[in-house]
Structure 1
Amino acid sequence: METRQVMTPYQIRARAREELAGRWPEIIQLHLIPILLSTFAAGGVYGFNILSFSRLAGTQNEESLLVTFLVTFITIGISYSLLDLIRSQSYKIRPVQDALQVFSNKYFLPIFLIQLLMVLFVTLWSLLLVIPGIIMSYAYSQAFYIYKDRLEEADDPRYYSIALECLAESKDLMRGHKARLLFLHLSFIGWYLLEAMTLGLASLYVRPYLNMAEAVFYADLAEGYGEPDESTASEEAEDFADF
């Protein structure tokens, strides 16, 4: 059977720009809450990034921890809306409601448990060495999207089990694709520097672009679930051979 070719980081970014084209006003409105929160937090880096688990281990004041919590959850909600937009061009963005959707009953507790377990597991892996922790953070990175796609189980009281299942499914889904997501993130280094040089002003463009690219990555990956591209898997095996 012919193996489905997954999108390269370059193709993912191109697709992200296509999805954003013509919808920038509403996309920027969707991102305003977390951008403003991060500005309020004295220029903290805004946006959900699975590698940011280490921030929780540092010494932060209560306000900074609260902002980190809010921004993380709001960005997950934003990512859900971007995924809906990718899957249906007729999807109408509701900036405030969409940004805060993760705080609803159907999302909050499962998402909180997924985040908590993810931080715990990645931290435990990092106690061995930093690199295994990074690898596992990428392995678990799609758990939030997976929960959205299996939302029919939201009324199931086994929230802890659902969280574990989403993490396990993400680990399986990312087999052969962790390096591809890493390269996608590395391709944004120039944009991260631009954010720093503009004191966060460039976030109005960079964060929607990055969040859309990550949503495109998941949409592409979920479509071909169980069929990793052989060349991609080979590259990852070589890059992470020591682990």
Structure 2
Amino acid sequence: MNNYKRVNSLEVRRLAMRTFLKDIKGNVALNIFPILMRLVAMYFGTRIYNSWLGELGVSFSNPQEASERLSEISQQMANDPSAATKYALSLTPGSSVIIFAFLFFFVLVCTGVGYTMLDKMRHPNLEINALKDSLQVFSSRFFFPVLFITAMLGVFVEAGLSLYIIPGIWFFLIFSQSFYILKDDVDKNKTWSIRATFLSLAKSSRLMRGHKTTLFFICFEFLLWEIVNLMTHEILSIWLHPYEQLTLAAFYAKISEVDKANRAKAAA
């Protein structure tokens, strides 16, 4: 198995960037909903953060005073760890539901965008309808199975993170291709089934053998870019989000090709 071909992250990045540069306007248009949602999240997130700091008595209009107040809070928590609950950011149940629904909708839209980008990579002459294609997951073909996979992936990752973080990352990596596998199964069979939805998780685990490290470093690169993006108040998302989506789609396209080649080699 060690002699089998594996995915090169540089090839994935090149494919993603080549696809992006070939139709910059179309790729940005396809991602317009996720980009706008990121900008909205940044706006309200900043307001919530500033409101929380205000409740703590921290105002950056006076940097020296803010620094002294933060030092005082840090000292109190160091002396009494239970005091951390007093200063923790808390949300109302209603706010928590809104945030959860917002994130869930964001994931579904991004999944639809990823499906379209994968089709575009496989069929360069494919005509894209930005609005329709970005919302394709909300059709009867994909909505319920994607809903199920999203919920299952969330349970696995959250359970893993609640242990020692690393298991959560591991679960994310091994099940990360479930959405794309489901798409290929639905495209092939023209419909979805409970069995195929469950199998997509198992197939993802098999498909990711030997590729988890590659995807981990790709996601780590995204993390660094997202830190830079925060400094631009999400303005960089206009370029960054389509690139991230294209890279994930390119990764699946590449490992699928490699998997077919490896299986053919094993059968020979």
- TM-score bracket, normalised by the shorter chain, equals 0.7 to 0.9
User: Distance in 1 between the 2:227 and 2:2 partners?
Assistant: 40
Alignment map for 1:27-46 (pairs within 5 Å)? 27-43=27-43
| Farther-moved stretch of structure 1 (169-178 vs 11-20) | 11-20
Q: 2: CA distance between counterparts of 1:114 and 1:197?
A: 33
| Map of 1:186 onto structure 2 | 220
The two structures have a TM-score, normalised by structure 2, of 0.73
Name the CA distance, whole Å, in 2 between partners of 1:105 and 1:89: 26
Specify which of 248, 255, 261 is matched with residue 221 of structure 1: 255
- Whether 1:97 and 2:145 are equivalent positions in the alignment is no
Q: 1:89 to 1:131 in 2, by over 3 A?
A: same
Deviation at 1:5, TM superposition (A): 3.2
Show the 5 A alignment for 1:59-98. Answer: 60-98=95-133
CA RMSD of aligned residues (A): 2.3
Amino acid at match of 1:173: L
State yes or no: 1:14 paired with 2:14.
yes
SS of residue matched to 2:22: coil
Residues paired across the two proteins, number? 214
SS at match of 1:6: coil
Q: Is the 8 A contact 1:145 1:218 kept in 2?
A: yes
Which structure has the larger Rg? Answer: 2
Amino acid in structure 1 at the alignment position of 2:115 = Y
Percent identical among aligned pairs is: 29
Give 1:125 deviation, angstroms. Answer: 3.2
Residue in structure 1 matched with residue 143 of structure 2 by the alignment? 108
Distance in 2 of aligned mates of 1:84 and 1:90: 10
> In structure 2, what is the equivalent of residue 155 of structure 1?
191
1:145 and 2:145 matched: no
**Could you say which residue in structure 2 is the equivalent of 1:52?**
none
Q: Give the letter for the 1:28 counterpart.
A: V
Please give the per-residue CA displacement for 1:28-52, whole angstroms capped at 9, x wherever unaligned: 111111111222233589xxxxxxx
How far off is 1:25 after superposition?
0.6
Unaligned runs of 5+ residues in structure 2 are 46-89, 264-268
Shift of 1:4: 4.9
Contact 2:6 2:210 in 1 (8 A): no
Query: What is the rounded CA distance, in whole Å, between the counterparts of 1:138 and 1:191 in structure 2?
Result: 19
CA–CA separation in structure 2 for the residues paired with 1:2 and 1:122: 29
Unaligned runs of 5+ residues in structure 1 are 46-57, 229-243
Structure 1 consecutive aligned stretches of length 4 or more whose deviation exceeds 6 Å:
none
Deviations 1:44-69 (A, max 9, x none): 89xxxxxxxxxxxx955332222111
Contact 1:107 1:154 in 2 (8 A): no
Q: Provide the rounded CA distance (Å) in 1 between the counterparts of 2:37 and 2:178.
A: 25
Shift, 1:20, TM fit: 1.1
Q: Which digits, 9 at most, give the CA deviation of each residue in 1:123-168, with x for residues without a partner? A: 3333432111111110000000000111144635x42x32221001
Aligned twin of 1:236: none
Amino acid at match of 2:172: S
Structure 1: distance between partners of 2:165 and 2:257: 31
Residue 42 of structure 1 aligns to a residue whose secondary structure is helix
Higher helix content, 1 or 2: 2
Select between 182-191 and 110-119 the one with higher mean Cα deviation: 182-191
